[in-house]
Amino acid sequence: MFNFFRKKTEFFTPAEKEQLVAAIRSAELRTSGEVRLFVESRCRFVDALDRAVELFQTLNMHETKDRNAVLVYVAMKDHQLAIFGDEGIHQRVGTEFWNTELRKMVSLFNRENYVEGIVKVICDVGEVLVKHFPYDRSTDRNELPDDIVFGG
């Protein structure tokens, strides 16, 4: 009999998950910007960036006040990666910034340093968010959850 309720693949240990969430929280600590991480086995699209854009919309990341949310997307088994920044941050850093960050992640992934690669990118994204969208105690609030989103 076919089981429709497949167990989701665990890509990270509990300690690694904590490390990733801690990186997200640290990246957001000094900025009004938001960072999310979406991890799944397979990318349903030919282009991972198209999938990231779809997920960005599905997760309502486009609804941040300053349009400064960033999604880091990883399809582990398909070896596909994408980083998508909303218009507020993209207008300030441009396409080359995202491409450079992807190259860093790919370099670390090629050495099977998956968590290190994701953490590095999240930290770098946090730094540019701080530069362009610094934290303001009187107005800032955490607009999006800091947890990792796991797909199928």
Q: Give the tokens for residue 5.
A: 């309720």
Per the model's pLDDT, the better-predicted residue between 46 and 125 turns out to be 125
Write down the pLDDT at residue 8: 54
Write down the pLDDT at residue 44: 86
Write down the pLDDT at residue 138: 83
State the chain's maximal CA–CA distance in angstroms. Answer: 57
* Residue 3 pLDDT exceeds 70: no
Any idea where the domains of the chain sit in the sequence?
A: 14-134+141-150
pTM: predicted TM-score of the whole model, two decimal places: 0.92
Top-level class of domain 14-134+141-150: alpha beta
